[in-house]
Structure 1
Amino acid sequence: MDKISLAGIVLGLIAVLGGQYLEGGHIGALVQPTALLIVLGGTLGAVLLQSPIHIFKRGLKMVKWVWIPPVIEQKRQIDQILSWSQLSRREGLLALENYLPGVKDEFVRKGLQLLVDGADPERIRELLEVDINTFEDEWRQSAKIWESAGGYSPTIGILGAVMGLIHVMENLSDPTKLGAGIAVAFVATIYGVGLANLVYLPIAGKLKYYIARMVATREMVIDGLVGIAVGDNPRIIEGRLRGYLL
């Protein structure tokens, strides 16, 4: 559990609701189901229209990273590459073939297979970088649905505000209906801006961070495998790979 994510959301809610209370307003005044329906429904519709369904589904699944970060085992990967480096220097690259069945990561297994097959170091880098570029593009597109929601939400909130004001203007002759219409108008704007800046955009930022770390880990693997291919000393490989650690 990523406690800082939970703390961020709680702190944001306390700031907004606490500010409303300190100003003498009622917290219940911010509860407007109609305004919430307009903002959430409108934002969802816009994001669905923008995104292919597989990108949208993946983006929804990725949101769990905010609470349970993906496992990025850079240190374990470095230790594994160093053991391969030492073995290859003693017994040759073909000795690494025995490790292929035990490598679960498809990207690492592909790189190791190229290494065992005796591929040129630059060819190994070229082929694996194509995989990295595809991987990064697909996952960034999925994370972008949250960034897009953060862009649409305030505008949909303004749309809800205009709709509320239209309702107010239609009922000027009936003062009993004015309060509800004005409340929906202003609360819709609060929902739109609040969700964008307290939920959608922060989620997008955190997902992009984890994607960047996964990409960096793959780039680290390329550096390690290429180092083995050119016959670098394991200490040199270790020093270069540890530069990727945060």
Structure 2
Amino acid sequence: MTVFIGAIIVLAGVFGGYVLSHGHIAALWQPFELLIIGGAALGAFVISNPSHVAMATLKQLPSLLFQKKYTKSFYLELLSLFYQIFNIIRREGLITIESHVEQPEDSDLFSRFPLITKDQQALNFICDYLRLMVIGDMTSYELENLMDVELETHQMENLAPSHALGKVADALPGFGIVAAVLGIVITMQSLGGPPEVIGLHVAAALVGTFLGILLAYGFVAPISNALEHKAFDESKFYECMKTCILASVNGMPPQVAVEFGRKTLPSDIRPNFYELEECVKGIR
């Protein structure tokens, strides 16, 4: 929703100011300039990025239109799941969670937390490290190092679409100049014709520069930044899981282990101590 609101503000500010200055909107409609700029930008994007980054970018873009995934209720469910898991481990031993970890889709434990089980990557992360805990051959330091390596790779993959679009945003003003130069070439071909025809060609050339700059700084660069924020939100989610698991491995009681995870969360979505306690009581 914020993407739409921001786009409307950009368009209203730019074109509203232009119209109020007695400009004619029809003069800005130059579809061939858009074709030159958009085609060049798309081609450069395809050339500069491997196919999996291009596909990841296309997959991530629609997610900007939906509500934020990592909300307070999402984290309450995550921390409640960890509390339940750690409580079972504390009372009955690590071996009792093996059946839940091996078949999480059939587990009555995981089925109580639908927001988490719908996220297959998160579920795999949880089950993989619980499985390593069951094996019991790794120290907390070794487990932490392994997590850090995985999370670093995960973050790099998540940031790749943002960086790819950022490069396109940097190039768009240059493609606008390309469109403008081609427009000037056409104008030079029309020298000797009626002044109004030459004026139209010059205007079209200038619109090419305008569109390149507007698309770069009004749309593509902000979308790149939005994807970057989305990637950091997901990294924080994995950091929270990592902190909870390591706290449990280091012998912290279940309530304290999930409190460690709660403390890693940003203030705008972090549940307070009593909210988490009430949620855990409900699960209990």
- What is the TM-score of this pair, normalised by structure 1? 0.93
Contact 2:94 2:133 in 1 (8 A): yes
Counterpart residue number, 1:96: 97
State the one-letter code of the partner of 1:188.
Answer: G
Who is 1:54 aligned against? 52
Corresponding residue for 1:146? 165
In structure 2, what is the Cα distance between the partners aligned to 1:41 and 1:146?
A: 15
Task: Identify which of structures 1 and 2 has the higher relative contact order when contacts are C-alpha pairs closer than 8 Å and 6+ apart.
Answer: 1
The offset of 1:48, in angstroms, is 1.2
**Partner in structure 2 of residue 238 of structure 1:** 258
- Secondary structure at 1:172 match in 2: coil
Alpha-carbon separation, structure 2, partners of 1:184 and 1:40: 16
Secondary structure of 1:123's partner? helix
Following TM superposition, where does structure 1 have runs of at least 4 consecutive aligned residues deviating by more than 4 angstroms? none
Match in the other structure for 2:41: 43
Alignment of 1:102-181 (within 5 A): 102=104, 104=120, 105-118=123-136, 119-175=138-194, 176-181=196-201
Quick check: 30-39 or 130-139, which moved more? 130-139
2:6 maps to 8
Q: Give, as a single letter, the amino acid of the residue that structure 1 aligns with 2:149.
A: V
| Structure 1 contact 62–143 (Cα < 8 Å) conserved | no
Give the partner amino acid of 1:79: S
SS in 2 for 1:24: coil
Query: What is the CA–CA distance in structure 2 between the aligned matches of 1:190 and 1:115, rounded to whole Å?
Result: 58
Partner residue in 2 for 1:77: 78
Task: Render the CA deviation track for 1:176-214: whole Å, top value 9, x for unaligned.
Answer: 531232122111111111111121111111111111111
Give the share of equivalent positions with the same residue, in percent.
Answer: 26
Answer yes or no: is the 8 Å Cα contact 2:240–2:265 preserved in 1. no
CA contact (8 A) 1:139 1:211 kept: yes
Question: What's the secondary structure of 1:71's corresponding residue?
Answer: coil
Partners of 2:27 and 2:203 within 8 A in 1:
yes
RMSD: 1.6
5+ residue gaps, structure 2: 105-109, 111-119, 267-284
Displacement of 1:70 in angstroms is 6.2
Residues of 2 paired with 1:85 and 1:147: CA distance?
42
Distance 1:231 1:4 in 2: 43
Match in the other structure for 2:65 = 67
- In 2: Cα distance, 1:231 partner to 1:200 partner: 47
2:209 aligned with 1:211: no
Q: 1:146·1:201 contact (CA, 8 Å) conserved in 2?
A: yes
CA distance in 1, matches of 2:21, 2:254: 64
| Partner-residue secondary structure (3-state), 1:245 | coil
CA distance in 2, matches of 1:27, 1:66: 29
Number of paired residues?
244
- Residues 1:202 and 2:222 are matched in the alignment: yes
TM-score for the superposition, normalised by structure 2: 0.81
Question: Within 2, Cα distance between the matches of 1:57 and 1:199?
Answer: 20
Unaligned runs of 5+ in 1: none
